[in-house]
Amino acid sequence: MIKINPKYEYIRQWIEKIPDIFEKEGTTIYEGRNKIKVFTTSYGLVVNVKRYHVPTGPNKLIYSWDIRKPKGQRAFEYPEIMLEKGISTPEPIALIEQRGFLHLLGFSYFISIQCDYGHTLYEMGDAKPEEYEGMAIALGRFAADMHEKNILHKDFTPGNILWKKDNEGYHFAIVDINRMHFGNVEFKKGVINLTRLWGPKRFIQLLVTEYAIARHFNVDAALAIAIPARARFWQRFQKKHKLKFTLEL
């Protein structure tokens, strides 16, 4: 099954080749359960191709028989919602799903425009005040805007927020958007959504403060939720994983 954004129908022939060329061509930028590669098409367009792993166990049936939308399908459909509301995310090009016996889902390929924002929030890990202060304010406003527009990224983490800075200020784009909530984002839920980011404690304090101001929330109440929630999350995390930044509690 292939779904193509009508705007990119002109590269259909190249899109149809992706399952055959994925392992042989392109540049790998991430490899885990899923794999992401960047390709330059025969038309000169630079694209991002994410291959989702073959679901196993109960998920094999859940995703194959539309009990729940497959991740690739969500990744293909959700950008339209976000872009219509002015939230930047890479424009979707196509979705390929490989199906087998009994319509069971195999590999899925999600193709999008490669975002040219060259930074992620991992850079805030041990950033100095002069590096993170402007960022914290801008990101707080961006997150508030998303939430006011009834968009919440359930995996609002450093690698899923791309950014760049120019003469107009900071610009953000959201990626890996197959896990989203579209609907009202209430106070506590919105604040806790900000607590899984890397960075000094003051970075998070500035971020949450600006977020609360932008959404007309009480700043002290927001900080009283965010800072303990952040500490709990990272304390649990470091019991199983080595932290790659200095954690200030």
Alpha helices, DSSP H, located in the chain: 12-15, 18-21, 58-64, 71-84, 129-148, 187-192, 201-214, 219-240
pTM of the entire structure? 0.93
CATH for 2-113, among 3.40.50, 3.30.200, 1.10.357, 1.20.1260?
3.30.200
Domain topology for 119-240: Aminoglycoside 3'-phosphotransferase; Chain: A, domain 2 (3.90.1200)
Selection from 66, 232, 149 nearest residue 141 by Cα = 149
* Residue spans per domain, the chain: 2-113, 119-240
DSSP character at residue 117: -
Looking at residue 100, its pLDDT comes to 87
Distance in angstroms (rounded) separating the CA atoms of residues 4 and 166: 33
Distance in angstroms (rounded) separating the CA atoms of residues 65 and 207: 41
Tokens of 6: 């009508």
Digits of tens for pLDDT over the chain (249 positions)? 999 999 999 999 999 999 999 999 999 999 999 999 999 998 899 999 999 999 989 988 888 988 889 999 999 999 999 999 999 999 999 999 999 888 899 999 999 999 999 999 999 999 999 999 999 999 999 999 999 999 999 999 999 999 999 999 999 999 999 999 999 999 999 999 999 999 999 999 999 999 999 999 999 999 999 999 999 999 999 999 999 999 998
Count of residues in the chain: 249
